[in-house]
Amino acid sequence: MSARTSREGRNVADLVDQPVEVGAPKRSVRARLILEDGTEYTGVSFGHEGSVAGEVVFNTGMVGYPETLTDPSYRGQIVVCTYPLIGNYGVPSSSSEGERLDSSFESTEIHAAGLIVADYSPQHSHWNAARSLGQWLDAEKIAGLSRIDTRSLTQRLREHGSMLGRIEFEGDPVEQRDPNVENLIEEVSIKEPILYGEGQDKRVVLVDTGAKHNIVRCLLRRGVEVLRVPYDFDLDGEKKIDGLMLSNGPGDPKMADPSVQQVRRALDRGIPTFGICLGNQLLARAIGAETYKLKYGHRSQNQPVVECGTNRCFVTSQNHGYAVDSDSLPRDWRVWFQNLNDGSNEGLRHAWAPYRSVQFHPEARPGPVDSEFLFDEFVRMLSS
Amino acid sequence: MNTRDTPKTVLLLGSSALKIGEAGEFDYSGSQAIKALKEEGVRTILMNPNIATIQTSDYLADEVYFLPITPEYVERVIAKERPDGILLAFGGQTALNCGLKLHDSGVLDRYGVRVLGTPVETIRDTEDRELFVGRLHEVDAVAPRSKAATSVDEAVGIAKELGFPVMVRIAFALGGLGSGVCRDEAALRELAGKGLAHTSQILVEEYLEGWKEIEYEVVRDRFDNCITVCNMENFDPLGIHTGESIVVAPSQTLTNHEYHKLREISIRVIRHLGVIGECNIQFALDPKSDEYRIIEVNARLSRSSALASKATGYPLAFIAAKLALGHGLHRLPNAITRSTSAFFEPALDYCVVKIPRWDLSKFRNVSRKIGSGMKSVGEVMSIGRTFTEALQKAIRMLDIGRHGLVANEQTEAEADLDVELSEPTEERIFSVVEAMQRGYTVDRIRELSHIDKWYLEQISQVVGIGAQLESGAGGPLHEELLREAKVRGFSDRQIERLSGVSAADVRTQRIDAGIVPVLRQIDTLAAEYPAQTNYLYLTYSGDQDDVELPVDNAVLLLGSGAYRIGCSVEFDWCCVNAGLTLRREGLRTVMLNYNPETVSTDYDEFHQLVFDEISFESVLEICDKVKPQGVIVSMGGQIPNNLAMKLHEAGVRVLGTSPESIDAAENRHRFSSLLDELEIDQPEWAELSDLDGARRFANEVGYPVLVRPSYVLSGAAMAVCTNDDELSIYLERAARVSSEYPTVISKFLENAKEIEFDAVAQDGDILVYAISEHVENAGVHSGDATLVFPPQRTYQETIRQVRNSARRIAERLNINGPFNIQFIAKDNAVKVIECNLRASRSFPFVSKVLKRNLIEMATQVIIGRRVDKFDSKVFEIEHVGVKAPQFSFARLDGADPTLGVEMASTGEVGCLGDDFSEAFLKAMISVGYRLPVRSVLLSLGPIESKAELLPAVRHLHEKGVEIHATQGTAKFLNDAGISATALGWPLDDEAGGTLDYIRSGDADLVINIPKNDRADELTNGYMIRRTAVDYNVPLITNRQIAMRFIEAMGRVQPADMATKAWSEYAIA
């Protein structure tokens, strides 16, 4: 064989620790992922070289790492991708479109604390890519580890529920951190209200407990004005609310009392309300229903749900460890959707009043768009 | 249908013989459909003349008809069985087209047969391009700009409007038959002409050069619930048929936006079309923008759906059958987890690579270019946790002598890499590697090949590791480099070839360093929920096994790998039946195979399925983990058989006949002396390493001789040479004869008869046997021969000798299991040509004709159970079975459709009849011959052939068949008082010549007996044969087949042929 290639000059270590960016070869750096049960995995860094601690969670989506990383629901979490090949299509440029919404991402920054993959691809290929995933992580000071057996890691996380853990670089120790006891919602929520699509007849107030941009986009596309407000914003001061949208968000719903209070008052005012993910749990708590931690969280883009009482099923994108206890619903409230896999609650609706919520993500991004029509239904039920 | 209305009896149409474009995937889908129907208590009638399939087993459908899938025969079965439902989606395009005809002619209505699943209107919408494009527009889905043409001139007009290059597509085609890119008018005229000969309508469309090709497998139920089970990305860009492409699942280069946009469009379109069950939708995606086009929808199970099933673990065919019966997706369980619902989309945590397997070197004159028509005969699928792990495994699985992307034998010729990259052949993946090694940049390769840069970068990584391994050659292996190489799919043997460290040492070193593969589950949910699945693969990227090991009471059963010419569904039948027997005997079968088109890779057939390489390395690794009681190598054809001795030497227990005996039969020298000792005759042969010696030997034994080189440069591997010149030319040009690559030359017997002996022995004592005769004389490869069982024209004395020789060989080799011996007989002198101590391709055929499962007996023997002898009254069976080959020449541009010592058929059928003629005609109709024959074109070859065929032709003449003939043949016939219209030879280029006659479609049959003669006559004959194939006119090139066919037509009228189910052919 006459194999003499341009790569011949590289030394073994360079090849082995292959995440080498085009034009900017750097020596590979190893780091450890240490779980709270003491399990350790050693990987090769491809992002920012700084230790970090958080809750380790996995997601089984096969596409959508830019969307996942910028989803505020992942605040404080070290995300494990079960799909092994990550980075393939790079990261798009963050050119902003109108309404202060970034077209390519779900928020303005990476919220995940770290990223764990099996086989990071330093060489990416996509017409839309502006840089590699590694470069992006580095720029946003987020740690990334490749070369980890993400399947055995996922099995461990699954059986344990989720676990705290840390990515530790040599000589850079870090304290364990439990993001669940922090007020993550406050961290990810906006500080001042923002008005999008000003001038439309109908106004939806979006309570931002960590809202993904696509919720805003989905509403704007349907010709309504969106007032995005902080999680603890006093709604009583807002006279014009044709509908209330409760967003997704990080952490335990029990930590979100200020928002729950607001929801209660909005319901008292009879404002049409729609909740997504954490919003489902907030609505549940507002009406006095219970939430609990799931044995196996839903962290994937392929969660099947059925609309109760029908044969209509949807594939949905989900990311939650807590669920609403369907048995705890008060009178006149119904289970709207149910998970086909484990039977857990996937949505609530009032028997006649315009209050609804879903546990999954009709706004998708990442994931299937099967249930986006729910935004149409919500817009139809806005107060006239 | 608003409420479930479960039919009582359902007719399922199979896909008939395996052919290019329709292979084993339909055995898999049909078998799953039958299982689903049985679960519902529906009486199931299966029609499929493909006798080697699992679906035609006695334990599946309630009745099996080995009859042609033609409207006429299907109607007869309907009239007899009176089904109230029919399934058209499980037998490929063959079943679909036949079903549409039955619907159109009103037969289905007349008998009250309901088409289950996707309605006929939907099928029509997807098959007719204009309807299809219209339907897409209704839901704002974008199709390529195109127009349908019904004439060549119209096609040219459309092309001028769109601008060249254009793509020509053919409606109602399977595997993209006759489709292609035309860059100018001349090319278009030629292709359009051919296409319009097969169909009334072709499509001319914009050519989307370099676009990505993406597929989704979509499932929909009658409640309008719709999911996409899997998406797949073609490594090769648009323009190369997906059956010819390397395919990767899931897509690797699509963003969330692209993935879900195409997914949403898939669901929107499929809902609009109204598919109920399973279908496949193909997209073109611009690599430079957000533009897309929908290429096509296949409203039936397909090769892609079989691949998707195996890639994800989602049993598409089974579910599709349930949906056809009216079930809802959400009410069906996920077959893998059993705890979740079938309404879900699998999440993969691995990468799947499919590579087609071509056999183009078997054909003379064939174009090696791959494009929009299918030429591949099979495929492999591999699973890995890195792309290159899967890719390199898949390359080795092809079994074409490659070790992976790198470390292969260098090809001799300095190929023009620019051409190799831009005009792909089946070797393109290796051209990519070579280009990298010669210093081409990834960008340059991308420009030439349009392969996405991500894939090229991945390959480049492997090339780099290969160079690293090579540069350290001789020295010890760096542990991290070794680990990296294994993660990227290098085999121990491949590392040996690069580094010089022996594979055995590589293995020892890596085991010491803890570099061993792990067994991983395909669980459809990427470990999100616990799963009890037994569907496994090996990967070197993992820390721990997913399953509990070792497995108690296990037997490792090795499969047959990719379907290719010479190794097909028959070995899958053997493996599945062996597995069933093992289960009945209380053992746990661990099946190892990697062919996605098979039933043996259905995880519910075995205790465990390991979907991985069948190599020395992988078998050892699995044995280390599973610790089976032994390994069965005799069911999967030659690949496992070849591993027997190596495994034995490595301390693995090989069950059944001892590896020493296998070697004694496989090794030509050892087997020859064994025959000599047993005083069993064999054709004279010698192994020679120079031309002089070869010539001397040939003259000594007398021409013709059969030459079998051990190294072949190009073209056919084997040939018959009739004189010194031919021998010299052949050995000098085609085969590099040397001491390193010796050539085996043997005496070729003319006008001799070949006989197959299939049997099972225990401790050398034959328990059961079946003797079949070939219709064709020796010289036609046994895989291409038409087999008759029990024999009808073989002398008792010959049969006695065959039996005696076989008995002595079985005893001497102490055979424990299945074996096959091929004999050649002339004037009651019987010689042994070949002996295989494994199941052969005729095992399912003889088992089903005899109604005695030889594999079941063989498996019992292999695991040491005492088995009673079968009281062989085989000559008292009242019916005859005929197995006929299916050729796929129409798909192989330019290939000369003749029969020779190299096998060329891609499949087979087996039919039963009350006598030979009936069974033979049914088999011939099943492989595409058409009755009645009102006009023939004859070109009868050498004088002895003309003379031999004269009575048969006279018979045709007397029956009023119109006879046209080439000049020599016409003169001969006219002299004999048979009026035949003489037509000019193709090379004479006269108007009204033979080719025009064939093209006119007026001939019902062409008989062309090739002469082994002058070059121009060969060319003339070739043009006749090729034109017949290109214009879809049945062709016979063998003298014995011609005789038997004409005789049979005279003896049996189609109307008299019995519509009898398999169960009605009783064994006394």
pLDDT tens string A178-196: 988 888 999 999 999 999 9
pLDDT score, position B99: 97
pLDDT score, position B1067: 78
Of A121, A298, A364, the CB nearest to B260: A364
% of chain B exceeding 90 in pLDDT: 81
Contacts of B467 in chain A (CB under 8 A): 3-5, 7-8
A18 with B461: Cβ contact below 8 A:
yes
Of B68, B17, B62, B27, nearest in space to B47 by CA: B68
How many helices (H) and strands (E) are present in chain B, helices listed first? 35, 38
On whether the CB atoms of residues A150 and A84 are closer than 8 A, the answer is yes
- Tokens for A10? 């590289």
pLDDT score, position B851: 92
Whether residue A22 is predicted with pLDDT greater than 60 in this model: the reply is: no
pLDDT score, position B735: 64
Of A306, A290, A288, A378, nearest in space to A342 by CA: A306
pLDDT score, position A113: 96
Of A7, A125, A152, the CB nearest to B453: A125
Residues 383-412 in B contacting A (C-alpha not used; CB under 8 Å): 385-387, 406-408, 410
Q: A-B interface: how many C-beta pairs under 8 angstroms?
A: 222
Residues 259-318 in B contacting A (C-alpha not used; CB under 8 Å): 259-260, 263-264, 267, 287-289
Looking at chain B, which residue has its C-alpha nearest residue A343?
B340
If you average pLDDT over residues A226-250, what whole number do you get?
95
Long-range CB pairs of B440-446 (<8 Å, 24+ gap) are B445/B421
Beta strands B146-149 and B202-206 are antiparallel
B368-382, B408-422, B487-501: lowest mean pLDDT where?
Answer: B408-422
pLDDT tens readout for residues B613-649: 999 999 999 999 999 999 999 999 999 999 999 999 9
pLDDT score, position B4: 61
What is the nearest CA distance from A45 to chain B, expressed in angstroms?
16
Peptide bond into A304 cis (omega under 30): no
What is the nearest CA distance from B83 to chain A, expressed in angstroms?
30
- Tokens for B793? 């024209």
* Assembly ipTM: 0.93
Q: Which residues pair with A54 in a beta bridge?
A: A165
What is the nearest CA distance from B780 to chain A, expressed in angstroms?
38
Of A315, A321, A331, A311, nearest in space to A364 by CA: A315
- At A23, which amino acid appears? G
pLDDT score, position B651: 97
B252 with A85: Cβ contact below 8 A:
yes
pLDDT score, position B367: 86
Whether residue B1048 is predicted with pLDDT greater than 70 in this model: the reply is: yes
If you average pLDDT over residues A6-32, what whole number do you get?
50
Give the pLDDT band (50/70/90) at residue B716.
low
Q: Taken in order B868, B873, B877, B882, is the CA torsion positive or negative?
A: positive
Does any CB of chain A come closer than 8 Å to the CB of residue B414?
no
Beta strands A291-307 and A333-339 are antiparallel
If you average pLDDT over residues B973-980, what whole number do you get?
96
pLDDT score, position B1: 41
pLDDT tens readout for residues B305-329: 999 999 999 999 999 999 999 999 9
A64 with B328: Cβ contact below 8 A:
no
Give the pLDDT band (50/70/90) at residue B286.
very high
Whether residue A11 is predicted with pLDDT greater than 60 in this model: the reply is: no
pLDDT score, position B1017: 59
pLDDT score, position B988: 82
Whether residue A99 is predicted with pLDDT greater than 80 in this model: the reply is: no
Whether residue A12 is predicted with pLDDT greater than 50 in this model: the reply is: no
What are the φ and ψ backbone dihedral angles of B131, each rounded to 5 degrees?
A: -60, -45
> Coil, helix or strand for B519?
strand
pLDDT tens readout for residues B264-279: 999 999 999 999 999 9
CA distance B582 to B584: 5
B125-134, B409-418, B800-809: lowest mean pLDDT where?
Answer: B409-418
Mean pLDDT of all residues in chain B? 93
CA distance A152 to A155: 5
Of A5, A64, A119, the CB nearest to B385: A119
Q: Which residue has the higher pLDDT, A101 or A320?
A: A320
Which burial class, exposed, middle or buried, applies to B635 when counting CB atoms under 10 A from its CB (0-12, 13-18, 19+)? Answer: buried
CA distance B1067 to B851: 7
Give the pLDDT band (50/70/90) at residue A21.
very low
pLDDT score, position A310: 96
Looking at chain B, which residue has its C-alpha nearest residue A120?
B386
Whether residue B921 is predicted with pLDDT greater than 70 in this model: the reply is: yes
pLDDT tens readout for residues A303-346: 999 999 999 999 999 999 899 999 999 999 999 999 999 999 99
B344 with A5: Cβ contact below 8 A:
no
What is the nearest CA distance from B990 to chain A, expressed in angstroms?
53
pLDDT score, position A98: 44
Whether residue B719 is predicted with pLDDT greater than 90 in this model: the reply is: no
- Tokens for B948? 């031999």
Whether residue B857 is predicted with pLDDT greater than 80 in this model: the reply is: yes
Q: Which residue has the higher pLDDT, B337 or B839?
A: B839
What is the nearest CA distance from B687 to chain A, expressed in angstroms?
30
B498 with A1: Cβ contact below 8 A:
yes
pLDDT tens readout for residues B423-449: 999 999 999 999 999 999 999 999 999
Contacts of A44 in chain B (CB under 8 A): none
Optimal mutation site among A14, A105, A151, interface B, most CBs of chain B within 10 A: A151
pLDDT tens readout for residues B483-522: 999 999 999 999 999 999 999 999 999 999 999 999 999 9
Of B437, B406, B432, B429, nearest in space to B418 by CA: B432
Contacts of A123 in chain B (CB under 8 A): 453-454, 457-458
Of B263, B339, B454, the CB nearest to A124: B454
Looking at chain A, which residue has its C-alpha nearest residue B385?
A84
pLDDT score, position A267: 96
Contacts of A16 in chain B (CB under 8 A): 480-481, 483-484
A15 with B468: Cβ contact below 8 A:
yes
What is the nearest CA distance from A269 to chain B, expressed in angstroms?
37
Beta strands B787-789 and B880-886 are antiparallel
What is the nearest CA distance from A55 to chain B, expressed in angstroms?
17
If you average pLDDT over residues B110-123, what whole number do you get?
97
If you average pLDDT over residues B392-413, what whole number do you get?
90
Optimal mutation site among A11, A15, A295, interface B, most CBs of chain B within 10 A: A15
Does any CB of chain A come closer than 8 Å to the CB of residue B1054?
no
Looking at chain B, which residue has its C-alpha nearest residue A58?
B528
Looking at chain B, which residue has its C-alpha nearest residue A57?
B528
Whether residue B875 is predicted with pLDDT greater than 80 in this model: the reply is: no
What are the φ and ψ backbone dihedral angles of A162, each rounded to 5 degrees?
A: -105, 165
B347 with A61: Cβ contact below 8 A:
yes
Residue B616's contacts (CB-CB under 8 Å, 6 or more residues apart) are B493, B643, B646, B647, B650
Active-site option among A218, A277, A298, A346: A277
pLDDT score, position B170: 75
If you average pLDDT over residues B1007-1022, what whole number do you get?
76
Contacts of B351 in chain A (CB under 8 A): 84-85
Does any CB of chain A come closer than 8 Å to the CB of residue B485?
no
If you average pLDDT over residues A36-63, what whole number do you get?
96
pLDDT tens readout for residues B72-88: 999 999 999 999 999 99
Does any CB of chain A come closer than 8 Å to the CB of residue B447?
no
Please, what is the Cα angle at B996 between B991 and B1000, to 5 degrees? 135
Of A10, A62, A82, the CB nearest to B250: A62
Q: Does A363 participate in catalysis according to the annotation?
A: yes
On whether the CB atoms of residues B68 and B926 are closer than 8 A, the answer is yes
Give the strands of the sheet with B85-87, arranged side by side: B63-65, B43-47, B9-13, B85-87, B114-115
Q: Does A361 participate in catalysis according to the annotation?
A: yes
pLDDT tens readout for residues A257-280: 999 999 999 999 999 999 999 999
What's the gap between Cα B910 and its chain centre? 16
What is the nearest CA distance from A270 to chain B, expressed in angstroms?
34
Contacts of A8 in chain B (CB under 8 A): 464, 467-468, 471
On whether the CB atoms of residues B798 and B827 are closer than 8 A, the answer is no
Whether residue B231 is predicted with pLDDT greater than 50 in this model: the reply is: yes
Contacts of B453 in chain A (CB under 8 A): 123, 125
> Coil, helix or strand for B509?
helix
If you average pLDDT over residues B1009-1021, what whole number do you get?
72
Of B919, B918, B922, B895, nearest in space to B906 by CA: B895
Whether residue A31 is predicted with pLDDT greater than 80 in this model: the reply is: yes
pLDDT score, position A96: 53
pLDDT score, position A10: 37
B454 with A16: Cβ contact below 8 A:
no
- Tokens for B353? 């690579």
Whether residue B476 is predicted with pLDDT greater than 60 in this model: the reply is: yes
Whether residue B151 is predicted with pLDDT greater than 80 in this model: the reply is: yes
CA distance B393 to B487: 11
- At B720, which amino acid appears? V
pLDDT score, position B2: 42
Whether residue A238 is predicted with pLDDT greater than 50 in this model: the reply is: yes
Looking at chain A, which residue has its C-alpha nearest residue B333?
A341
Residues 491-550 in B contacting A (C-alpha not used; CB under 8 Å): 498, 520, 525-530, 541-544, 546
